[in-house]
């Protein structure tokens, strides 16, 4: 029996621009992402069994503990790719990164599983791990390596950038999560609406800022008009920026006030690593 514990950092998007559409239907992006000192933890236990079996458990009531979880998919992909047989994989997920928050909580856990199982079995090099990350999702490659990274394509093409230290704070409406699918769909709809000659009327009938150029994150521009909680954050903290598809906002070298209805995490730091053993 072997047991390993993996620390899985959240990420923020320092910027996010949508540059077009890829042949596979995904939006093409350019985004500088940064891992930060907010972590999920995975405890991975491997033992012999009469068949391959993956069992998930954890401390969160907001995620599934079955084959739909990216952690399960990552473990299954690793076993199949390595042609490993007759193993029981128990994975306990300590969830601290909010769900559907734009901080890659699922992706970092998926990358953590691939990394952790490879620490145990030592089957693959970094290139192969990157290929498996890209197969599973858009942000796993960023979470695997960590630090400051330029992500392109749908997010799986990464270039390591020079690391810069900074403090960061987070705020998120407690009962609001936004999926990537919703955010990208709203971006397409809003962009199409404006491109069809409705921009003037669109701007007139909306009191909040609506010019795409006003936003560092294109997905913030896409969703903010539909959510008063996001508008409230932006109005109260004009220097804050939404990360990913939301609904979390971050602020560099500043703090958010603790208030009812919002999850707040101040005094976090940029970190120069991705998933790792602890």
Whole-number Å distance between alpha carbons of 37 and 115? 18
Which segments of the chain are extended strands (E)?
A: 2-13, 17-21, 27-48, 53-58, 87-94, 148-152, 157-160, 167-173, 241-242, 249-252, 262-269, 276-277
Residue 226 is a catalytic residue:
no
Q: What share of the chain is helix, strand, coil (3-state, %, to 5)?
A: 35, 30, 35
Please give the Cα distance from 248 to 241 (Å, whole number). 8
Q: Which of 40, 109, 139, 218 is flagged as catalytic?
A: 139
Q: Is there a catalytic annotation at residue 269?
A: no
Active site positions, annotated: 11, 139
């Amino acid at each position: 029996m072997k047991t390993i514990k993996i620390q899985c950092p959240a990420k923020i998007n320092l910027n996010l621009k949508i540059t077009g559409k890829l042949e596979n239907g995904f939006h093409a992006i350019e985004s500088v992402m940064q891992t930060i000192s907010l972590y999920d933890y995975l405890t991975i236990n491997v033992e012999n069994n009469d068949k391959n079996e993956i069992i998930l458990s954890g401390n969160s009531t907001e995620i599934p503990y079955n084959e739909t979880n990216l952690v399960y998919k990552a473990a299954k992909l690793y076993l199949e790719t390595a042609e490993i047989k007759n193993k029981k994989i128990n994975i306990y997920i300590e969830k601290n990164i909010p769900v559907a928050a734009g901080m890659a909580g699922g992706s970092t856990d998926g990358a953590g599983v691939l990394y952790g199982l490879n620490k145990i079995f030592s089957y693959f090099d970094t290139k192969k791990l990157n290929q498996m990350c890209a197969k599973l999702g858009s942000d796993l490659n960023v979470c695997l390596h960590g630090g400051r990274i330029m992500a392109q394509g749908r997010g799986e093409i990464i270039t390591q950038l020079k690391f810069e230290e900074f403090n960061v704070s987070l705020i998120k409406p407690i009962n609001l999560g936004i999926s990537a699918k919703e955010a990208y769909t709203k971006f397409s709809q809003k962009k199409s609406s404006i491109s069809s000659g409705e921009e003037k009327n669109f701007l007139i009938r909306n009191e909040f800022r609506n010019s795409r150029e006003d936003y560092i994150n294109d997905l913030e521009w896409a969703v903010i008009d539909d959510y008063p909680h996001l508008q409230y954050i932006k109005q109260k903290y004009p220097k804050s920026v939404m990360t990913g598809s939301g609904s979390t906002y971050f602020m560099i070298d500043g703090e958010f006030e603790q208030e009812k209805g919002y999850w707040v995490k101040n005094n976090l730091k940029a970190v120069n690593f991705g998933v790792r053993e602890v």
